[in-house]
Amino acid sequence: MTSYDTILVEQRGRVGWITLNRPDALNALNTRAMHEIVVAAEGFDRDPGVGAIVVTGSERAFAAGADIKEMADKSSVDMVLDDHFGAWNRFAAVRTPVIAAVSGYALGGGCELALMCDIILAADTAAFGQPEIALGVIPGMGGTQRLVRALGYYKAADLVLTGRRIGADEAERAGLVSRVVPAGELLAVAGEVADGIAAKSLPSLYAAKAALDAALETPLSAGLRYESAAFTSLFATEDQKEGMAAFREKRSPEFTGR
Ligand code: CAA
């Protein structure tokens, strides 16, 4: 059993929950938090008993960014040799669907952590932004790349160049948020969405997430070939037979992950 300092980790049914827990620093993502989040997410990802992961913070802050105090005195060479944010690529590579449940501040690395997730649920109190430009730097955990892909160039440039914060409604209109929910319902909705996903066939979840990822990385023709190969290969699973038999028999499917 791994013990963690900066996060709380719990499995409820088929859902793995990771709750950022550095309240005194508004869940700022220091190196320890990065490694703990990655280890917890990879642990859930390796477990076939887990079909969805939820990452959340506190009411006040999902995460207020990378830890500024930890980075402040580093040189450019230190940051290169540390590969300071390198481990986040492992979080983004998790095969299991990941839901970000965002309340309060999701700034800098906090916004970028949400952008590494597959579904972003936002409380109506959430505030997103990339304030790095005000610190003399730029986003370093994927913000310039994922925001352009998710929001388009002009909205992304507005956020990255001005550093301004946007609320949940503007974030939803911009395509940065999947759904906005009343703050008091955020965790319940996240639990329902995650339970619903986790009850699906694991091979189809892996295939769906990998195909969605391919859409961000490949030209359309290659993405369509990828999707087609993944779609047809799912007909080799017992879960496909079960899913379609259940439809014909007007009952709920019972997936086994085979
Ligand atoms: N790093 C380290 N500590 C942080 C932090 C961060 N990103 N954000 C907040 N904290 C700390 C504060 O220093 C403060 O600690 P002390 O009490 O010890 O001073 C504590 O959390 C509470 O914060 P505030 O007193 O500032 O709370 P507030 O309600 O007045 O303001 C806030 C909240 C607007 C979010 C403000 O804290 C803030 O602007 N934080 C920094 C946001 C930011 O610039 N994020 C980008 C970081 S760089 C980055 O993320 C790079 C990347 O791309 C990965």
* Tens-digit pLDDT profile for residues 91-117: 999 999 999 999 999 999 999 999 999
185 is catalytic: no
51 Cβ closer than 6 Å to some ligand 1 atom: no
Q: Give the C-alpha distances (Å, rounded to integers) separating 184 from 55, 58, 144, 206, 207.
A: 17, 12, 31, 31, 33
* CA of 28 relative to ligand 1 center, distance in Å: 7
Is residue 202 within 8 Å of residue 48, measured between CB atoms? yes
Beta bridge partners of 123: 181
| φ, ψ at 86 (rounded to 5°) | -55, -35
Q: Whose CA is nearest to atom 38 of ligand 1?
A: 64
Ligand 1 atom at minimum distance from 26 CA: 21
Q: Name the closest-CA residue to atom 2, ligand 1.
A: 67
Q: Are strands 98-102 and 165-167 parallel, antiparallel or unpaired?
A: unpaired
- Closest listed residue to residue 257, CA positions, set 9, 13, 14, 11: 14
Rounded to the nearest whole angstrom, what is the distance from the C-alpha of residue 246 to the centroid of ligand 1?
A: 51
39 membership: H or E segment, kind and range? helix 31-45
Distance 8 CA to ligand 1 centre (A): 21
**Ligand 1: nearest atom to the Cα of 65:** 50
CA of 9 to the centre of ligand 1 (A): 23
State yes or no: is 170 an active-site residue: no
Strand partners, 7: 20
- The answer to whether residue 143 is catalytic is no
- Summarised one tens digit per residue, pLDDT across range 20-67 is 999 999 999 999 999 999 999 999 999 999 999 999 999 999 999 999
Q: Which of 49, 55, 38 is nearest to 94 (CA)?
A: 38
Q: Are 52 and 33 in contact (CB under 8 A)?
A: no
Per-residue confidence (pLDDT) for residue 32, from 0 to 100: 98
Average pLDDT, the chain: 98
Ligand 1: does its nearest atom lie under 6 Å from the Cβ of 140?
yes
> Is the pLDDT confidence value at 173 over 90?
yes
What ipTM was predicted for this assembly? Answer: 0.98
Which percentage of the chain shows pLDDT scores above 70? 100
Provide the b/e sequence for 222-235 (b: ≥16 CB within 10 Å). ebeebbeebeeebe
6, 22, 26: which to mutate for ligand 1, most atoms within 8 A of CB? 26
DSSP-derived 3-state class of residue 84: coil
Active site residue 132: yes
pLDDT value of position 2? 82
d(CA 232, CA 180): 35
Distance (Å, whole) CA 194 – CA 97: 9
Cβ–ligand 1 contact at 36 (below 6 Å): no
- Distance, CA 61 to ligand 1 centroid (Å)? 10
Any ligand 1 atom below 6 A from CB of 68? yes
Residue 234 near residue 240 (C-beta atoms within 8 A) = yes
Percentage of residues in the chain having pLDDT higher than 90: 99
Task: Verify whether ligand 1 is closer than 6 Å to residue 109 (CB atom).
Answer: yes
Contact 103, 56 (CB under 8 A): yes
- Checking if the pLDDT of 1 tops 80, the result is no
